[in-house]
Structure 1
């Protein structure tokens, strides 16, 4: 157990701490009068502005007054805020005068959740918005800034972006993953990337998988000569030899790799590396090792070397290599990850009629993508939970013991099962014997490299992808390749790494989509159609049907545009302050709020424009259009109401609802009241004053 007693305590930001407390209080809505909510919102607005760097020193005095005005019922909140403003005033001032946070929280960029979760940091909102507008070539151009393999990735990515989607808080996450394939499929062509003038530097890349291909893609753009060396007959690495054709057809992958070839990258297949330094001897200035983990890891139990025991990656590779290994009729697969799922589904296609997955935990604990688990179960794969293999015996027998996590672990007896094949899908290994004699270190079978520069113990030799960070996903390998290219370029050109370029970037400025308010938070998430499980499982043909681009365009409208709305909550606070209460937001985590209801403003918004006035990004617009006051949130019109026309100048100047509320607060209109805009009212006041002076002068 790690001793944390000597670790320094993390600093607490008083601004964030009290902002969170105010939000919790506001969103509880228990016995809160309009006056109390307005007072809480006023304090919350000022604290939010301080956290965003939009405050002046005067905010602290105003905040202190707002706190004192809170009723006795808020005693604990008042006491805490007053104490903080007094005792931690220097930390509050630091936010205002230095745009700095003592805990390093407040002034961090408000990253887009889906883009931050994507290991390749794809600009997902721009990509989706272009699809919504039907601009597939522009969408593909956005994708190609961050990945050379958009279509392939769109088919096999486990979609961590969807897990991070803020829609998940109030509805269902946007269907992001297949959008990449839509962009690639519907775009007329792959746009050629701009290539810098030749630098005269040469880079050797060992491994033609996603990390190697990505590194080559970016290094070529930087003007370097790149050659990839791979011992397989075809490029693609695990994407080609570890992912079944029914998930990623060869032609799709090949077409994307050919785009990288068009940039001048040379790929040498069937090349067996003998020594890590051989490329330096051949005149290459740098070497990047990205061989992946192409081999199966053994089960590590007695009998795991018997002839009927196969390795999962070895089995998948043999199938993809055209060797057509036959299995069955009864196959047992050990494991619960994506590779184990691929093995189980491929077993049907190679002759099995009964396929079981035995896993030591439960289904909800499986690391495999949930959708792929469903695909396997739909095809007839049986999942046997909470059993772990203990030994394998002659006669095609395997013994399982009940997992210690099972409720009957203390009483359940081991079971012995007979199967025609047992296939291990528990892990992967790499062949790195040719590193012997070098200064490159290994840890748990992975190459040790600097986490920032990816440089190994050998100068000029770098490593990334699965062989460096461990078995992961295609998109993680792509992210590793981007970093490697930047690191290798900086090393070759003797300059500092451009680390900001590796962070999430906005790749385009895309206009909002015009989306109906009722649809914006629709829980009707579409799905990509698939072939019938009962028939598809006997074929290696692609499982999916093409997703309809019109359906994809509609789904793009559910994106809440987190690149433009940072979820700060200022709009909600301003709306509460004016008493309209038209906007409701909820917490999503990571200091971000999201709209809970796009229909609520239709009956409560008064069109005052307070929300738009405080919005720091322009995500909300309140505009006069054709005699109507229109309130629009990231492209969705949430209220359109008639404007009041000035009786004097005949110009519309305020929404009828807001004008009515204003007159009501002043005691109600009289019979002789004239509707006037502020300009005409000022002019009338001046004229009245002038008349009074004439009268006073006796004229």
Structure 2
């Protein structure tokens, strides 16, 4: 008897949304089968930080999850964490490459630098990472509090990277990238991160009781700061500001966070903002400091103005709306910047490195990537930058730039049957509020094996399901219901009119269709047809 082999036909929306291109449906299928080792191996094909991303990734993938058409997105981030936590042998599927005889120096042991180092080592190059701080990890260790990402998890990830053949030297201050090239390294990668605080330029910003957001988090994570004062004002709306506010609450402070725009404009993750409010942090939206005095911060109300370059309304001060907040300490977290000029590299006006499409600087053999090129970004974006740099460096060293190795065959013998409509995520356990405020214990609990498998069964396996959607342009009267019901970007409006004088809906692409049939059921003109073209062959 022959098995039915299901063919992969497309890239799933979740994978397409991931900057590193992780094959999400594939590792979720392994979790569904209880194969956590295999799931972890699939994740490691694209990133060397499965646990870090399982704990602290911004999860762009979930925003594009097709399951939203039915109920809510699959908990992709937590399933990644489960793959790490439930795996028995983290490196069981690792492969060793033949030594190339080439050497690479990496400046910066953050997510970008360590990612590039990991995959370069996998290609056989001898890689040494130089880190100015006492421990490796960069922003992972020094910029994210332990209630979100425990240091022992970062340690485990770094140990796996070292086991892969990467040498890391800490407390190593490098004065220039060219210095390392002159010492005989065949290539140098600058991945130094965005550690420079951005200033507002207001009176009192440099006072003794004012601290920059990223410096504050670094000192909290190293145990240098254990108290902040009874009343703390945090300025900013990004993840650094939210983490600084939540860290301050854990040290007994009453915290007010000032943000000059509306809540929906905050760069910080929505779930982190919600948890901050749960923990008692007072949010003052449309408010900005104008001067910092001893014992208080003078602020002004803002109003949304014309849309600016960020695509958001520009905040405009409201004359005569000044007010004051009492404060023992002020944490300024309004942004971070890059200064690659410190490493004697050519830089753009914003301090980022000048590079070409291959991450190469004007100096032969010296590359730059991560925040050093993009400015402050996310963990997964930094990882993606590290992968890009690795490809370019390997080609520069004479390789093919092929860093992806599919370590497990992707054989799908049975079309997975997803859980029915209305099946939501399993309830997630979190630390009780009163326990959260006692210290920096991890807030979010992971999934058990049983729960992870159950959640994996909600995946629609979009990469192997194929539907063809058609709209009859003759009968469509452009009510727009199909476009309202579908969140998969399948429909748009025609540029031309039909014989009845309507601009009918047309199909941009059927690739994202998951067969929910909502558009078909809601269409009053019966203009839509959907065919299931999922392919399987007898092998």
- The number of aligned residues is 479
How far the C-alpha of 1:253 sits from its partner, in A, is: 0.9
For residues 262 and 410 of structure 1, the distance between their equivalents in structure 2, rounded to whole angstroms, comes to 57
Work out the CA distance in 2 between the residues paired with 1:408 and 1:469: 28
SS of the residue corresponding to residue 29 of structure 2 reads helix
Residue in structure 2 matched with residue 17 of structure 1 by the alignment: none
Does structure 2 retain, via aligned residues, the 8 Å contact 1:198–1:224? yes
Residue in 1 that maps onto 2:200: 299
Aligned partner of 2:461 in structure 1 is 561
Do residues 308 (structure 1) and 209 (structure 2) align?
Answer: yes
Q: Partners in 2 of 1:507 and 1:163 — Cα distance?
A: 28
CA distance, structure 2, for counterparts of residue 238 and residue 409 of structure 1: 33
The reply to whether residue 287 of structure 1 matches residue 287 of structure 2 is no
Higher relative contact order (CA 8 A, sep 6+): 2
Worse-matched range after superposition: 455-464 or 190-199: 190-199
The answer for the alignment partner of 2:299 in structure 1 is: 400
Q: Tell me how far 1:505 sits from its aligned partner.
A: 12
1:633-652 matched pairs, under 5 angstroms: none
Alignment of 1:112-123 (within 5 A): 112-123=12-23
Q: Larger helix proportion, structure 1 or 2?
A: 1
Q: Distance in 2 between matches of 1:187 and 1:506?
A: 15
TM-score for both structures, normalised by structure 1:
0.65
Q: Distance in 2 between matches of 1:470 and 1:594?
A: 36
Give structure 1 stretches of 5+ with no counterpart.
1-108, 574-584, 602-609, 622-699
Question: 1:496 offset after TM fit, Å?
Answer: 6.1
Q: Which shifted more, 406-415 or 547-556?
A: 406-415
Instruction: Tell me the residue number matched to 1:327.
Output: 228
Contact 1:293 1:466 in 2 (8 A): yes
Deviation of the 1:525 alpha carbon: 2.3
SS of 1:446 mapped into structure 2:
coil
Q: Report the Cα distance in structure 1 between the residues aligned to 2:347 and 2:299, rounded to whole angstroms.
A: 36
Matched residue of 2:168: which SS? Answer: strand
Larger Rg: 1
Question: Quick one: which of 229, 254, 277 aligns to 2:130?
Answer: 229
| Structure 2 residues not aligned, in runs of 5+ | 1-8, 306-314, 473-484, 491-508, 522-529
State the 1:466 CA deviation. Answer: 1.1
For the pair 1:617 / 2:518, whether they are aligned, the reply is no
Alignment of 1:276-425 (within 5 A): 276-352=177-253, 354-393=254-293, 395-405=294-304, 410=318, 413-425=321-333
Segment of structure 1 superposing worse, 553-562 or 424-433: 424-433
Who is 1:475 aligned against? 380
Matches within 5 A, 1:493-532: 493=398, 497=401, 508-512=410-414, 514-515=416-417, 519-532=419-432
- 3-state SS of paired residue (1:371): helix
Query: Is the Cα–Cα contact under 8 Å of residues 129 and 513 in structure 1 kept in the other structure?
Result: no
Counterpart in the other structure of 1:490: 395
Q: 1:386 to 1:253 in 2, by over 3 A?
A: same
Contact 2:359 2:367 survives alignment (8 Å): yes
3-state DSSP of counterpart to 2:321: coil
Aligned to 2:480: none
What are the superposed Cα offsets for residues 330-350 of structure 1, whole Å, 9 maximum, x if unpaired?
Answer: 111111111111101001123
After superposition, the Cα gap between the structure-2 partners of 1:587 and 1:161, relative to the gap in structure 1 and judged at 3 Å, is: closer
The TM-score with structure 2 as length reference comes to: 0.83
Secondary structure in structure 2 of the residue aligned to 1:155: helix
Q: Deviations over 1:260-291 (max 9, x none)?
A: 11122110000011222111121100000001
For the structure 1 residues 567 and 166, does the alpha-carbon distance in structure 2 shift closer, same or farther, using more than 3 Å as the test?
farther
**Structure 1 position 594 matched with structure 2 position 514:** yes
CA distance in 1, matches of 2:188, 2:451: 45
Alignment partners' CA distance in 2, 1:420 and 1:274:
38
Secondary structure class of the residue paired with 1:416: strand
User: Does the 8 A contact of 1:236 with 1:253 survive in 2?
Assistant: yes
Q: Write the mapping of 1:543-562 to structure 2, written as runs, cut at 5 A.
A: 543-562=443-462
Alpha-carbon displacement from aligned partner over 1:161-181 (angstroms, at most 9, x marks no partner): 000111223321111111111
Match of 1:442, SS?
coil
**Comparing 408-417 and 323-332, the one that deviates more:** 408-417
